[in-house]
């Protein structure tokens, strides 16, 4: 700080000027701090606003997917009708379609198109213009129709302007009478879904207008598709986005608050009013500090109040003498009277929770020995038995010989934050428990349906005609598939429910159990399995069996038909970690699907004809996460895949 000197002393003018400069500088610094805090509060408010929009958009997505799937499933029912009837009787079609559509709103029509020509429509009234429409002859429909036939996939088109008037989504499912090739192509089952009722049921329209929702992805093209609902400019205003999954493709929802993003947090005016007052006050205090000792006490009091509000105190530890200084806020956090505290490091450790004491002492020792930053969350116990959680940060000062001489840090009471985090964990646990109970309780009714189907087939075989027997077989097959999915979901939920303690587990024995469980499938696939010696790790043995069983079963499921399947299991160890792999010579996985295969219900599109629900690899991912490891895949399409799992060894 500049000053003029005369005979080694400040001039009277500079003695007056220096406190003013200091006061103004303190005011500016405080205002900067207020602006910084205000910026943080505004950012936090914006994050909360985005989280609220994200929650609302997630609800809309769930409602929209539910409403859409309820209508799209009609196409599969209509396809099943066509496969069983072959030659369609119009009266029978009208009766079946009417029962199938039920009371679902927004169903414009259900159609059958033998050889891609629309011949049967329910209801016919109002949709007469569509009758006789040849999809392959219509340039606007031909490409999508041919793609659906070639890929045997369910195609969703639109929203489009209909020939008979109105705007609707069109779901087309190609119907094949044979399982391979396209020689058995019969035609299409089609559903036309009015867009407005669908959006209304999904919650996109018709609710209080606190959100502006826009949808793009015409023809299932996701973010690359055209906007077909809402204001297109929303996508250029940093919206919250979320994808709506379609059978083949997606839509992208984008949403903003109705009045846009507003970073002005509640109470901003009062906050700044208080901040300005605080800044001026600090400037005045600094001005007085140079002239009066009383100002020192006031400044200390202001600092103590700020620390009390923030529940953040500071401390200073003389490593050489062991003396420890605490600010007033730390005394309040620890519930200790300044006079009764020993002001030593050992006295501080006595207040640390017994279960955390060793960890705190170790962190301090490592900071002193290894010249590293000190940071830790730990519990403390107050005199009345109350427990709190504090977060500590500190830096160590070293002398010229590298010896620690001083440690300065802060202690922040984060008990309330930890309680909120605990509540969030409990909420997640409750959701996982619900998934477990729902999957578990669905199995018995489904088993009863399957059992009664078998009993009915056995007792009434002679009385049923072929058509009735086929219908009964469809019911039993659908129930069996749903039972399989429920079983897979239950297995996924059990991973989160797993509470068994980890114990030394021989992975070699685990693989033997998994192979025994898969013995029949391995024989049916004419596969060979080899295994290198595997180590012992600290793990949940049952979950390890499930992990290997799912990985080996996945290799069996996705084998090549023209090459005998060979599976090899091996492992490598390094620095307390074991990495094992399950390698096969199956169909492999395209690079664009590598990152998605561990998601629930996610399956590679060109392998969707293979049985399963896309849950097995999600189970593997959950198991590995629970064990503190990671799982990934390396694959070459047409040559095979290697699934690798890295886990802490934890046992010798």
| Dist. CA 537–CA 233, nearest whole Å | 55
Q: Over range 24-42, report the average pLDDT.
A: 81
The token duo for 584 is 């096969």
| Dist. CA 53–CA 89, nearest whole Å | 50
| Dist. CA 568–CA 587, nearest whole Å | 15
User: How sure is the predictor about 481, in pLDDT bands with cuts at 50, 70 and 90?
Assistant: low
| Residue spans of beta strands (DSSP E) within 123-273 | 155-161, 167-176, 185-194, 211-216, 227-229, 240-246, 249-257
C-beta separation of 396 from 371 below 8 A: yes
| Dist. CA 242–CA 244, nearest whole Å | 7
Do domains 15-206+267-310 and 314-413 share one topology? The answer is yes
The token duo for 601 is 């219900």
Is the C-alpha dihedral spanning 490, 496, 498, 499 positive or negative? Answer: negative
Q: Name the more confident of 4 and 52.
A: 52
Please, is 51 exposed, middle or buried when counting C-beta atoms within 10 Å of its C-beta (0-12, 13-18, 19+)? exposed
C-beta separation of 144 from 219 below 8 A: yes
Looking at mean pLDDT, say which of 295-299, 527-531, 543-547 comes out highest.
527-531
Residue 3 confidence (pLDDT): 32
The token duo for 183 is 């020689």
**Cα–Cα nearest to 563, from 460, 640, 648, 643:** 640
Residue that the structure tokens 């039920």 belong to: 102
Q: Name the more confident of 35 and 389.
A: 389
Mean pLDDT of the chain: 80
Sorted by where each begins, the domain ranges of the chain are: 15-206+267-310, 314-413, 427-497, 499-652
User: How sure is the predictor about 160, in pLDDT bands with cuts at 50, 70 and 90?
Assistant: confident
Tell me the per-residue pLDDT of 411-464, one tens digit each, with 9 for 90 and over: 898 888 888 877 776 665 555 554 554 444 555 565 666 666 677 767 776 677
**Cα–Cα nearest to 332, from 318, 362, 311:** 311
CATH of domain 15-206+267-310: 3.30.450.20
Angle subtended at Cα 403 by Cα 398 and Cα 406, rounded to the nearest 5 degrees: 50
Residue 173 backbone dihedrals phi, psi, to 5 degrees: -120, 115
Q: Give the CA distances from residue 154 to residues 84, 182, 248, 477, in Å, rounded to whole numbers and listed in that order.
A: 19, 15, 7, 21
Q: Which CATH superfamily is domain 314-413 in?
A: PAS domain (3.30.450.20)
Residue 171 backbone dihedrals phi, psi, to 5 degrees: -105, 120
Tell me the per-residue pLDDT of 295-311, one tens digit each, with 9 for 90 and over: 566 666 777 777 777 67
Residue 540 backbone dihedrals phi, psi, to 5 degrees: -90, 110
| Dist. CA 64–CA 56, nearest whole Å | 12
Q: Over range 612-621, report the average pLDDT.
A: 71
Q: Name the more confident of 161 and 513.
A: 513
Alpha carbons within 13 A on the beta-carbon side of 63: 17
Cis before 159? omega within 30: yes
DSSP per-residue codes, 526-571: T-EEEE----EEEE-HHHHHHHHHHHHHHHHHT--SSS--EEEEEE
Helix axes 12-85, 466-497, angle to 10 degrees: 160
Tell me the per-residue pLDDT of 345-385, one tens digit each, with 9 for 90 and over: 888 888 899 999 999 999 999 999 988 899 999 999 998 88
Cβ neighbours of residue 148 under 8 Å, at least 6 residues apart?
Answer: 154, 155, 172, 173, 174, 188
The token duo for 457 is 């087939």
pLDDT above 80 for 6? no
The token duo for 84 is 């069983």
Q: Over range 249-273, report the average pLDDT.
A: 81
- Rg (alpha carbons) of the chain, rounded to whole number: 35
| Dist. CA 643–CA 344, nearest whole Å | 54
Lowest average pLDDT, out of 47-61, 195-209, 351-365, 448-462, goes to 448-462
pLDDT above 70 for 553? yes
Lowest average pLDDT, out of 155-159, 207-211, 546-550, 607-611, goes to 607-611
**DSSP state for residue 465 in the 8-state scheme:** -
Q: Give the CA distances from residue 46 to residues 30, 54, 207, 461, in Å, rounded to whole numbers and listed in that order.
A: 24, 12, 23, 66
Percent residues over pLDDT 90 in the chain: 17
3-state secondary structure of 214: strand
What are the beta bridge partners of residue 631?
A: 645
3-state secondary structure of 239: coil
pTM here is 0.40
C-beta separation of 635 from 594 below 8 A: yes
Residue 583 confidence (pLDDT): 93
pLDDT above 70 for 26? yes
**Cα–Cα nearest to 514, from 563, 610, 586, 582:** 582
Angle subtended at Cα 599 by Cα 598 and Cα 601, rounded to the nearest 5 degrees: 115
pLDDT above 70 for 142? yes
CATH of domain 499-652: 3.30.565.10
pLDDT above 60 for 7? no
**Cα–Cα nearest to 312, from 384, 417, 423:** 417
pLDDT above 50 for 10? no
Residue 394 confidence (pLDDT): 92
């Amino acid at each position: 700080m500049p000053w003029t000197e005369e005979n080694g002393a400040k001039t009277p003018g500079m003695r007056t000027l220096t406190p003013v400069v200091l006061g103004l500088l303190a005011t500016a610094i405080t205002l900067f701090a207020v602006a910084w805090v205000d910026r943080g509060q505004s950012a936090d408010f914006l994050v909360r606003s985005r989280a609220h929009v994200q929650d609302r958009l997630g609800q809309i997505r769930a409602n929209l997917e539910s409403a859409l799937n309820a209508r799209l499933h009609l196409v599969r029912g209509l396809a099943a009708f066509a496969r069983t009837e072959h030659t369609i009787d119009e009266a029978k079609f009208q009766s079946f379609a009417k029962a199938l559509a039920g009371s679902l709103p927004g169903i414009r029509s259900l159609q059958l198109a033998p050889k891609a020509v629309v011949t049967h429509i329910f209801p016919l009234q109002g949709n007469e213009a569509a009758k006789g429409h040849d999809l392959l002859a219509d340039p606007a429909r031909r490409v999508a129709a041919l793609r659906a036939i070639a890929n045997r996939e369910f195609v969703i088109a639109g929203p489009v302007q209909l020939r008979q008037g109105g705007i609707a989504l069109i779901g087309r499912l190609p119907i094949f009478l044979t399982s391979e090739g396209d020689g058995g192509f019969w035609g299409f089952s089609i559903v036309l879904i009015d867009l407005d009722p669908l959006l209304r049921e999904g919650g996109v329209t018709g609710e209080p207008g606190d959100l502006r929702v826009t949808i793009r992805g015409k023809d299932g093209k996701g973010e690359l598709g055209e906007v077909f609902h809402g204001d297109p400019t929303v996508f250029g205003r940093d919206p919250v986005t979320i994808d709506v999954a379609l059978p083949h493709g997606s839509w992208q929802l984008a949403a903003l608050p109705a009045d846009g993003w507003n970073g002005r947090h509640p109470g901003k005016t009062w906050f700044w009013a208080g901040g300005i007052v605080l800044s001026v006050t600090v400037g005045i205090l600094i001005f007085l500090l140079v002239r009066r000792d009383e100002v020192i006490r006031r400044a200390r009091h202001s600092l103590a109040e700020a620390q009390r509000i923030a529940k953040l105190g500071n401390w200073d530890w003389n490593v050489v003498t062991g003396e420890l200084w605490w600010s007033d806020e730390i005394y309040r956090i620890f519930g200790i009277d300044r006079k009764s505290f020993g002001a030593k490091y050992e006295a501080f450790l006595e207040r640390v929770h017994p279960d955390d004491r060793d960890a705190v002492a170790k962190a301090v020792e490592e900071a002193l020995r290894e010249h590293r930053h000190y940071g830790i969350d730990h519990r403390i116990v107050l005199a009345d038995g109350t427990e709190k959680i504090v977060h500590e940060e500190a830096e160590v000062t070293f002398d010229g010989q590298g010896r620690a001489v001083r440690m300065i840090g802060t202690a922040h009471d984060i008990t309330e934050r930890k309680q909120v985090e605990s509540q969030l964990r409990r909420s997640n646990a409750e959701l996982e428990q619900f998934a477990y109970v729902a999957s578990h309780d669905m199995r018995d009714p489904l088993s009863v349906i399957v059992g009664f189907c078998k009993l009915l087939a056995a007792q009434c075989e002679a009385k049923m005609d072929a058509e009735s027997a086929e219908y009964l077989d469809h019911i039993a097959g659908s129930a069996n598939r749903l039972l399989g999915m429920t079983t897979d979901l239950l297995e996924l939920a059990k991973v989160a429910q797993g509470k068994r303690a980890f114990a030394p587990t021989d992975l070699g024995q685990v693989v033997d159990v998994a192979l025994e469980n898969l013995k029949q499938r391995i024989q049916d696939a004419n596969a060979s399995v080899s295994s290198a010696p595997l180590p012992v790790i600290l793990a949940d043995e049952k979950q390890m069996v499930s992990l290997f069983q799912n990985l080996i079963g996945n290799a069996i499921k996705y084998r090549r038909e023209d090459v005998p399947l060979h599976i090899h299991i091996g492992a490598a160890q390094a620095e307390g970690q074991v990495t094992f792999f399950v390698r096969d010579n199956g169909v492999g996985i395209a690079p664009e699907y590598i990152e998605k295969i561990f998601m629930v219900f996610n399956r590679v599109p060109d392998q969707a004809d293979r049985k399963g629900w896309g849950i097995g690899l999600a189970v593997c991912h959950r198991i590995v996460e629970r064990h503190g490891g990671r799982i990934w895949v390396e694959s070459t399409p047409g040559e095979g895949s290697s699934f690798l799992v890295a886990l802490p060894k934890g046992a010798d």
